[in-house]
Chains A and B, each alone.
Chain A
Amino acid sequence: MLKTGMQVAAILAVMTILEYIFAVTVPNDLVRFIGLSATALTKAGLIMWFFMHLPRAWRGEEAH
């Protein structure tokens, strides 16, 4: 459990750095906008799924 969380955290950290490098290097506005949106959605999805335990919302019971 904790281990999965740390792996997800590492992925998020790497994505944040890549997001920054991507934004300062890509010159095309549209590509940058789409890339940033996709990254943000992925990061939000990862946080909701692993950190906020989204699946528990419909499983209903406290999973450990």
Chain B
Amino acid sequence: MAVAAPAAGHGHHVHPKRAAMNRVGLWLFFFSESIVFALLAMTRFYLKGIEIDKVDQALGLGITIILLASSVSAFTAETAIEHDRRTLASWGLFITIALGVLFAFGVAFEWYTAEFTKDSAFGTAFFTMTGMHAFHVISGVFMLGLVWAQLLRGRYSSKDHWPFSGIVMYWHFVDIVWVFFYPALYLVSTPK
């Protein structure tokens, strides 16, 4: 059927714009994901306006700061690997993962101690939004763990670190989602 398939070279040559394509593809994925989160936030405002049931403000601010700090450590790790500073990159990833796990436990604690239930519109919206976000945090932690394991085994350098950068970008995206979800769930109305 096929004529003169070029046996040599198939799958080995890299497209000159490969880095840009990866990057833009990932941005499009974030763009697409952000619509999922936007629809969930719309659901919250559609059902409850800006009303807030009793939430734990101290915990909310705490986990927000934790996630922000994890974004900073992820940034440190990425910048470090771009300059071949492997030890710093490794520590950066470790701290990011630890803070991510801490954040997930914070959300779990909030769920466990919440005074509202899933049988109210606010509870439904709250559990869905934080749950969807926490799912992304946990999957991010998992992927950061994969990258960390390979970093420890000597992969990645300033020349070759796309998977590393891509997952750090994903982590920042997860942080951005929380930048919007935190005020929408905790601050948008006078806390009771």
Contacts and interface: CB of A to CB of B under 8 A. Distances in A.
Contact of A47 (B158, B176, B187): B176
Contacts of B179: 40, 43-44, 47
Q: Which of B57, B64, B75, B175 has the most CB of A within 10 A?
A: B75
20 contacts: A1-B82, A2-B79, A12-B68, A16-B65, A19-B183, A19-B187, A23-B186, A23-B187, A23-B191, A24-B57, A24-B190, A36-B188, A43-B176, A51-B71, A52-B169, A56-B23, A60-B20, A61-B19, A61-B20, A62-B19
Interface in B146-192: 158, 169, 172-173, 175-176, 179-180, 183, 186-191
Given A5-B76, A33-B50, A20 B23 contact: no
Interface of A: 1-2, 5-6, 9, 12-13, 16, 19-20, 23-24, 27, 29, 32-33, 36-37, 39-40, 43-44, 47-48, 50-54, 56-57, 60-62, 64
B111 interface: no
A56 B186 CA distance: 34
Contacts of A19: 183, 187
B74 to A, nearest CB: 8
Given A56-B23, A60-B20, A51 B75 contact: yes
B23 to A, nearest CB: 5
A64 B83 contact: yes
Contacts of B50: 29, 33
Contacts of A6: 72
Contact of A9 (B20, B72, B190): B72
B64 A16 contact: yes
Nearest to B85: A2
